[in-house]
Structure 1
Amino acid sequence: MLIARLIADPAGLEKRLDAAAGALEQAGLPLASAQMLDHAGEVLQLMLPGDDTAALRQVIDQWFAPSDAIIARDEFRVPDLFVTDMDSTMIGQECIDELADFAGLKPQIAAITERAMQGELDFESALRERVALLAGLEEEAIDRCLAERIVPTDGARTLIATLREHGCRTVLVTGGFHHFADPVAERIGLEHVVGNRLAVAGGRLTGELVGAITDSSVKERVLREELAKLGEGALSMSAGDGANDIPMLQAADYGVSFRAKPKARAAANGWVDRGDLTALLKLLGIPRHNWVAG
């Protein structure tokens, strides 16, 4: 049995649902039920037999895009663990690109970032290349960048506060840097941070990193290790936008791409293309009166 929950433009929704039901029938996935969930009034739940998630995704994209959605095989419930990316997910920026602007290098570094997030470049090599370009930049530029450029994504604080209120552990794991991730996590309310460390000497960036790299394999490992701590039957959700998030998205029960690059979106079983991060609360079935303002 497949269960899909989605949020789409309400205009003409009934007609599009009829068309989608016909397309699903042709794909061998006859619709068992379709209903608007009472808790939100905007979440459409589809239930259908079978296991062909690719066909279901194709129909949803054809008839309901842009949408926010999660496809599951079991009844939905609030996850016990939420592991999330930072840049372009919990915040609306790429920290290294904004920091590069203080060194007059944003176009060069942003171009490398984009290719890395699209999965066109090896993550570690691209990261080291970008960090090397920042050699000599004053460390205080990070504080200025945080204050002037870095803004939480709409809905981030409410999402994290509400998940925590419902007993969910929240972890930020980023290919970015602790200089940014630690204050961002504190600002948004995340409980634990895993990331990379910039080397600093004499108040300036050296152009190097300290310690091992937090890459896609580390993101996946963190999710699995954190989930194991919670015991058998614990449920996980992850969120991210780039190619380095793919293993983490695939490892989670609900792997949700957020306004993501094509490869990351294709790898996830959920996506948010339309709304802000509170869309996840709606899709999980948490009534708005139980949301916690961050």
Structure 2
Amino acid sequence: MDAPTTPTTRPVAHRVALYDMDRTITRAGTYSGFLIHVARRRQPWRLLLLPLVGLAGLAYALRLIDRAWLKAINLRLLVGKRFRRAEIAPLAESYADRVVARGLHPAALDQIAADRAAGYRLLLATASFHLYVDAIARRLGMDDVLATRLDEPDGGDHIHARLSGDNCYGEAKFARITGWLADNAITREDAHIRAYSDHVSDHPMLRFADEAVATTPSRKLRRLAPRMGWQVVDWRGRK
């Protein structure tokens, strides 16, 4: 079954399509790939620190650190404690080219195009870093982006390997979405909202939507979706 493409019949002032990114639009996660992409091209010696990345992952699995700490630690190990935006920006662009060339679900691109044609405002909401997500979003033609921010105490010239605010994940992502709606003067009753995600952590966003689509869902989301009346689609393998 394809994702919804027919417009709502309820008269509304706004149409919004909310998209998760990793494993929803992309075939795989992008965060680790970005860190390795940067390390290989900028400071290859940092690849020797990959065993420490593995230890950080183990600490997360044992619940000794949370996702935000895990992401900050890995960024520090493979990119650095502090780095210049001008140095990383070209690598973010080349990584975005790589993801868009080989790492997207064609069916996701079809749905993005269909939503755009139907007059939906496209919002990409992801826990990945603005540092490279913005470059991917431009290539996808997204209208707006909500992503995890990094600390930029020097006015943007330098970026520090620590998060600024919450990791844009789960309830924190949903809070960012509701804040974005308010900032854009979009009230819930005046909007028709579609939402697409592969992961159960996005259940607040999916529950909020008029049309929720579990896209190539994780095991937990696949079990939850029928109980919630959410559509399930598999975007793998479609050309």
Q: TM-score w.r.t. structure 2 length?
A: 0.66
CA–CA distance in structure 2, aligned partners of residues 89 and 112 of structure 1 = 22
Alignment counterpart, residue 117 of structure 2, candidates 165, 169, 178: 165
CA–CA distance in structure 2, aligned partners of residues 161 and 180 of structure 1 = 22
Count of residues in Structure 1 that have an aligned counterpart in Structure 2:
204
CA–CA distance in structure 2, aligned partners of residues 87 and 145 of structure 1 = 14
Stretches of structure 1 lacking an aligned partner (at least 5 in a row) = 1-6, 8-67, 279-294
Q: From the CA coordinates, give the structure whose radius of gyration is larger.
A: 1
Q: Structure 1 residue 172: deviation in Å? A: 0.6
1:250 alignment partner in structure 2: 207
CA–CA distance in structure 1, aligned partners of residues 238 and 20 of structure 2 = 13
Measured on the aligned residues, the alpha-carbon RMSD in Å equals 4.0
SS of residue matched to 2:191: coil
Q: Deviations over 1:182-236 (max 9, x none)?
A: 1222111111111112357898864322344322123223444538715525322
2:128 alignment partner in structure 1: 176
1:126 alignment partner in structure 2: 70
Q: Structure 1 residue 99: deviation in Å? A: 1.8
Q: Structure 1 residue 144: deviation in Å? A: 3.2
Q: Deviations over 1:56-104 (max 9, x none)?
A: xxxxxxxxxxxx678xxxx983892211111111222322110232333
Identity %: 26
SS of residue matched to 2:207: helix
Does 2:154 align with 1:216?
no
CA–CA distance in structure 2, aligned partners of residues 80 and 106 of structure 1 = 46
2:43 alignment partner in structure 1: none
Does 2:192 align with 1:192?
no
Which residues of 2 match residues 92-103 of structure 1 at below 5 A?
A: 92-102=27-37, 103=39
Contact 1:100 1:106 (8 Å CA) reproduced: no
Alignment counterpart, residue 84 of structure 1, candidates 11, 19, 28: 19
Higher relative contact order (CA 8 A, sep 6+): 2
Report the CA distance shift for 1:237/1:199 in structure 2 as closer, same or farther (over 3 A): same
Contact 1:156 1:188 (8 Å CA) reproduced: no
CA–CA distance in structure 2, aligned partners of residues 264 and 107 of structure 1 = 31
SS of residue matched to 1:174: strand
Higher helix share: 2
Q: TM-score w.r.t. structure 1 length?
A: 0.55
